[in-house]
Amino acid sequence: MNRAERGSALLLCALAAASIAATPARAGIGAEGEPAFGISGYFKSPPTLDQPTTLEIRVWGESEYLPPATSVARISIPDGIALVSGDTVSVVHVDRKTKRRPERVFQLVIRPVRYGSYLIRGWLAIDAGEMHGADETDFYLPLTIQPDSVTYARAPRSTRYENVRHGQRYRYGGRYLVPIDSSQALLEEEITVKAKPTVQEAASCHDCPGPLPTVVPFVVMVGSDGRVRESRFLDIQEQGTTDPALVAAASAALSRWEFEPAKAKGLPVADYVVVRVPVRDGQP
């Protein structure tokens, strides 16, 4: 087997051993794991028992999607707070005739009717078609009204940013889209312990171009059970400067690595980790 044939065989082996994720399509610019969409809600004046107050809702990022896309914003008002005016569901269809706006704003007038602690929830879903899938996010806006005090959040707390395409759900992880099994209230900054390899193996490749030894970088998607969901070669040099035989040998070795999952709030969660697989000159 000559060098070219060996390189092709190694590449086919690597593709079978590891799932190499394609660069996902996304709205906006920047890293694939940075959400370019969102929803927020604010009280325009302090809430007061039996007095109307305006809740302003802002949605952004809709103009970044290739048409057609459908954006649905929904606000959940709990019992104990009356809706005076406005619609709790707002739908926008983005097409080629739609005037592109950096954000849209709509308002609800609400009136607390009894004392208590409340949680106003906002939810946004943008369906951008089969290629990009659907983006989702939501927020919480707490409010407590007592006879002698009123406590409310002046800014909402986002709980998640996710994407669903081809039946797979992903979390926007800052730099990458992380595959997850189900929706979860988790932001990347809430992860306190990153995934890490526990069993590592160097690759051997006698016919790989030198100089050897070297290292080949990958991003690895590690599930909450510690199992590898996907891996992807990171070409951090100029495109195409790393020989495919090196990538194939490193990928085949990476398929035998084992990992400890990331943790958030003491519980294992899915996340990504960047690793560098050593490649040495093995004997023929």
Its pTM stands at 0.85
Q: Which residues pair with 271 in a beta bridge?
A: 222
Phi, psi (deg, nearest 5) at residue 255: -65, -15
Residues 134 and 108 in one domain: yes
Those residues with Cβ within 8 angstroms of residue 34's Cβ, 6 or more apart along the chain or in another chain:
28, 172, 174, 175
Confidence bin at 243 (pLDDT 50/70/90) = confident
The answer to whether 152 touches 46, Cβ cutoff 8 Å, is: yes
Q: Find residue 55's DSSP bridge partners.
A: 43, 108
For residue 7, what are the contacts with CB-CB under 8 A and spacing of at least 6? 207, 243, 244, 245, 248
Instruction: Return the pLDDT at 196.
Output: 96
Q: Please report the pLDDT score of residue 66 as a whole number.
A: 86
196 & 147 share domain: no
Residue 153, both tokens:
């959040």
Question: How far is the C-alpha of 241 from the C-alpha of 224, rounded, in Å?
Answer: 34
Distance CA 8, CA 22 (A): 20
One domain for residues 130 and 210:
no
The CA–CA distances, whole Å, from 153 to 28, 49, 95, 123 equal: 29, 16, 35, 17
The number of domains in the chain is 2
Ranges of beta strands (E only) in 13-80 are: 38-43, 53-60, 69-76
Does some domain include residue 42? Answer: yes
- Same domain? 102 vs 131: yes
Mean pLDDT, to the nearest integer, of 196-216? 91
* pLDDT at 233 exceeding the cut of 60: yes
Same domain membership, residue 196 and residue 165: no
Range of weakest confidence among 30-39, 68-77, 192-201, 215-224: 30-39
Mean pLDDT of the chain: 88
- Residue 182 is assigned to a structural domain of this protein: no
- Out of 103, 138, 172, a domain closes at 172
Q: Which two tokens stand for residue 143?
A: 């409010």
Tell me if 98 is assigned to some domain: yes
Judge if 208 and 270 occupy the same domain: yes
What is the structure's pLDDT at 2?
45
Q: Which tokens sit at 131?
A: 């290629």
- Please compute the mean of the pLDDT values over residues 204-209 and round it to a whole number: 87
Model confidence over 48-103: pLDDT tens digits? 999 999 999 999 999 888 889 999 999 999 999 999 999 999 999 988 777 667 89
CB contact at 8 A, 181 and 229: no
What CATH number does the domain containing 80 carry?
2.60.40.10
Give the confidence band of 24 by pLDDT, cuts at 50, 70, 90: very low
| Burial grade of 91 (CB within 10 A; 0-12, 13-18, 19 or more) | exposed
Per DSSP, the three-state class of 17 is helix
Phi/psi for 252 (5° steps) reads -65, -40
Instruction: Please state, as a whole number, how many other Cβ atoms lie within 10 Å of the Cβ of residue 114.
Output: 12
Q: Check the CA dihedral 185-186-192-197 and report its sign.
A: positive
Question: Does one domain contain both 142 and 225?
Answer: no
Which stretch of 29-43, 151-165, 181-195 has the lowest confidence by average pLDDT?
A: 29-43
Q: How confident is the model at residue 121 (pLDDT cuts 50, 70, 90)?
A: very high
Boundary residue ending a domain (172, 203, 238): 172
Band the pLDDT of 274: cuts 50, 70, 90: very high
Task: Say how far apart CA 40 and CA 106 lie, in whole Å.
Answer: 11
pLDDT of residue 30: 56
CA distance 65 to 27: 5
Range of the domain at 269: 3-25+190-280
